Chains A and B, each alone.
Chain A
């Protein structure tokens, strides 16, 4: 029978909007609903709310408010950063450097640009999912117009040496974009210290609402617009502002970035206990990603002799929400490009489980999972013959 209580281990997929964030948003649906582009009093309240949120986002990453542009989320921010730089700098060159383990919002955008005649270098990563800054330097040509490397990987949690990569890009006068969607609230970021010119973030990954995100664009960066229409966002991103979303994003990022070390320490403590328990209780398990340079709440494992989706189904029956690097949903689904890029065999990639911890994860959830997981894995191994 399904458990009543949901044990949520999928915070990298999305997070619930925090009640304080919802409370901050609510008046902007009904009371302060004015279109910020209008001229009367309630519009002024809306404009002030947007300005406040812009300052909150800017403060969280060490930017200035005029460098923050609201978008519909991480995917739009990635699209804008990459296409916007590519199109604005085409007179300088047509070469983009990225990595093989980026989110599809980056990879598919790069593939689209390749169809338009741009060339893209997809840098490999090592077995722990790290990009070598020297490889970035070696890949730069006279035609390179953008380097885009994620801050932390959404699947295996590996944190990239973005400060070094950003420094190399800066030495060559090339804009550096980072998809920081998984990093906000988990890692301390400062766009100046980290040599970042463009940074994507998304509200629903740090207890804010879905459908709202932001792109940081360093002052003076030449970038083409992605969304054309009215003059919103200082003429850079058209469309009536998602006022409640913007307010929610501001409230959420301020909350998430108030005490990152304490938040990260709590998650890392739970993660390390969970990981140690799994390694102790289950044979033939490997940890995917970097052993230490990883997001505090991320565990990505491969189990011998099972199918990851079957394991997810068994866990879901017990109220556990998690994720895998391969879903058998069409008969032609390739295993995760990230797991393959770090050298995981297709078979092991199909046997993966991603557990991402966050605010909803309690000590007792870790205990519950530790009590359940060995039996679930053993059951599937008996079925496949791997445990015989």
Chain B
């Protein structure tokens, strides 16, 4: 499987790995089909993601997608982060081989679920 240099960089040196102890939004999502799981931790302050961490059990594309997604949402408002799609993640990685596109969906799902979990914790309706 031929990956771009950016994918390999994010796989070998993933950014924002680990647990965020003072996270106020957490989401754990998984793909039943291929068994990948991602846990995303967000620290949200004044409607903005001020810090983010992740843990992923999955292939190189899934790990690189998680890493890139955390880079893309750090500092963003919740509205901006919600708008991030897996296509944006794939583009930022310089592309993924077609059979690997589905791996990037996990990151998008984790972000949205974490945001909704946060909204629920604040007594707001989920988006």
Binding site for B on A (CB under 8 A): 305-307, 309-310, 313-314, 317, 326, 328-333, 335, 346-347, 350, 382-386, 388
Per-residue interface assignment for chain B, residues 63 to 104, with 1 indicating a CB less than 8 Å from any chain A CB and 0 otherwise: 100000000000000000000000000000000000110110
CB neighbours of B35 from chain A (8 A): 307, 326, 328, 335, 346-347, 350
Which residues on the B side are within 8 Å of A333 (C-beta)? 33-34
- Check B58 against A331 for contact (C-beta < 8 Å): no
Contact flags B88-127 to A (C-beta < 8 A → 1, else 0): 0000000000011011000000000000000000000000
Q: Which residues of A are found within 8 Å of B17, using beta-carbon distances?
A: 382-383
Closest to B60 in A: A313
B contact residues around A329 at 8 Å (CB): 1, 99-100
CB <8 Å contact, A310 and B33:
no
A307-B36, A329-B100, A331-B33 given; name 19 further pairs at CB < 8 Å. A307-B35, A310-B11, A310-B62, A313-B1, A313-B3, A317-B12, A328-B58, A328-B62, A328-B103, A329-B99, A330-B99, A331-B31, A331-B34, A331-B102, A332-B34, A333-B33, A350-B35, A382-B17, A383-B17
CB distance from A387 to the nearest CB of B (A): 10
B20 close to chain A: CB less than 8 A: no
Q: Is the CB of A309 within 8 A of B102?
A: no
* A317 CB to nearest B CB, Å: 7
* Least Cβ–Cβ distance between A321 and chain B, in angstroms: 13
- A341 CB, min distance to chain B CBs, angstroms: 18
Given known contacts A328-B103, A346-B35, A382-B17, is B57 in contact with A309 (CB within 8 Å)?
no
Contacts known (A328-B103, A383-B63, A385-B19); A305 close to B33, Cβ less than 8 A: no
Q: Which residue of chain A has the shortest Cβ distance to B35 in the bound complex?
A: A350
Residues of chain B with a CB closer than 8 A to A350's CB: 34-35
CA A388 to CA B36, docked complex, whole Å: 18
- CB of B48 closer than 8 Å to a CB of A: no
Assess whether B59 is in contact with A307, with CB atoms less than 8 Å apart: yes
Asked whether, in the complex, the Cβ of B57 is within 8 Å of the Cβ of A305, the reply is yes
Majority DSSP secondary structure for residues of A touching B: loop
Residue count of chain B within 8 Å CB distance of chain A: 29
Residues in A whose Cβ lies below 8 Å from that of B33? 331-333
Residue pairs across A and B with Cβ atoms less than 8 A apart, 21 shown, are: A307-B62, A309-B60, A310-B59, A310-B63, A313-B1, A313-B60, A314-B60, A328-B36, A328-B59, A328-B100, A330-B99, A331-B102, A331-B103, A333-B34, A347-B35, A350-B34, A382-B17, A383-B14, A383-B55, A385-B57, A388-B18
A82 to B33 CA separation, bound complex (whole angstroms): 32
Residues of A within 8 A of B99 (CB): 329-330
A317 to B11 CA separation, bound complex (whole angstroms): 11
B-side residues, CB < 8 A to A, are 1, 3, 8, 11-12, 14, 17-19, 31, 33-37, 39, 55-63, 99-100, 102-103
Most chain A Cβ neighbours within 10 Å, of B14, B39, B58, B99: B58
A307 to B14, CA, bound (A): 16
On chain A, the residues within 8 Å of B100 by CB distance are 328-329
Chain A nearest CB from B36 CB (Å) reads 7
List of A residues within 8 angstroms of B3 by Cβ:
313
A310, A317, A330, A382: the one contacting B58 at CB < 8 Å is A310
Of B12, B58, B102, the contact of A307 (CB 8 Å cutoff): B58
CB-CB under 8 A for A384 and B19, given A317-B8, A350-B35:
no
B19 with A313: CB separation less than 8 A: no
Q: How far is the CA of A33 from the CA of B26 in the complex (A)?
A: 69
| Distance in angstroms between the alpha carbons of A330 and B105 in the assembled complex | 12
A383 touching B56 by the CB < 8 A rule?
A: yes
Given the complex of chains A and B, what is the CA–CA distance between A384 and B55 in angstroms?
A: 5
**Which residues in B have their C-beta under 8 angstroms from that of A326?**
35
